[in-house]
A = this chain, B = another copy of it.
Amino acid sequence: MSRGAPEVAAAAQSTALSKARLRLWLRLLKVSRAVEGRLRERLRDGHATTLPRFDVLAALFRAPEGLTMGGISAALRVSNGNVTGIVDRLEQEGQVSRIAMAGDRRATLVRLTPAGRDQFAALAAEHEGWVDDLLGGVDAEAAAGLIATLEAIAARIEKGGRR
């Protein structure tokens, strides 16, 4: 920290590197939105469902004993109120059921119904195929490299103060 180190200035100036990073971010966003859009399309057109519903079902699929509302919220990193609405709809569709929790009347356990489990298992397999199709140009090596870089970025962002 000698020679008057500019703590803030470093992030504020526009260098070639910062422009490259901005460009990278824009590409990342573009691909992410494109893939997400295609997936949403297929979920809607072929299965009358949505990505948020799929995400909730996926979380529940991995937890056969069920998850609390708060557990879903934490797993998916979305707000509590959001989960309420999505689970409401899934419950009406019969894919999920709310179960009173034994020792705590505040909490609700959410579980896949048998029908929900069957439907999701089939859908998940199809989903993997869609992704495989969309990312078809990426070989195993490139995938591994990308994953490593992305995990490094994620770790750095997580670390940098939450909320």
Residues of A near any B CB (own CB < 8 A) = 11-14, 16-25, 27-36, 38, 77, 125-126, 128-140, 142-147, 149-154, 156-158, 160
Contact = CB atoms under 8 A, between A and B. Distances in A.
A25 B18 contact: no
Q: Please state the number of chain copies in the assembly.
A: 2
A28 B20 contact: no
Contact of A129 (B11, B25, B130, B143): B11
A111 B154 CA distance: 37
A78 to B, nearest CB: 10
Given A27-B151, A150-B27, A150-B28, A129 B18 contact: yes
Nearest to A154: B31
Contact of A31 (B14, B33, B135, B153): B153
A17 B158 CA distance: 28
3 closest pairs, A vs B, by CB? Answer: A32-B32, A18-B132, A27-B150
A143 B12 contact: no
A146 B27 CA distance: 9
25 contacts: A16-B140, A18-B129, A20-B143, A20-B144, A21-B131, A21-B132, A21-B135, A21-B136, A22-B131, A24-B135, A24-B143, A24-B146, A27-B150, A27-B154, A28-B35, A29-B36, A30-B150, A31-B153, A31-B154, A34-B154, A134-B153, A134-B156, A137-B153, A138-B149, A142-B149
B32 A138 contact: no
A28 B39 CA distance: 14
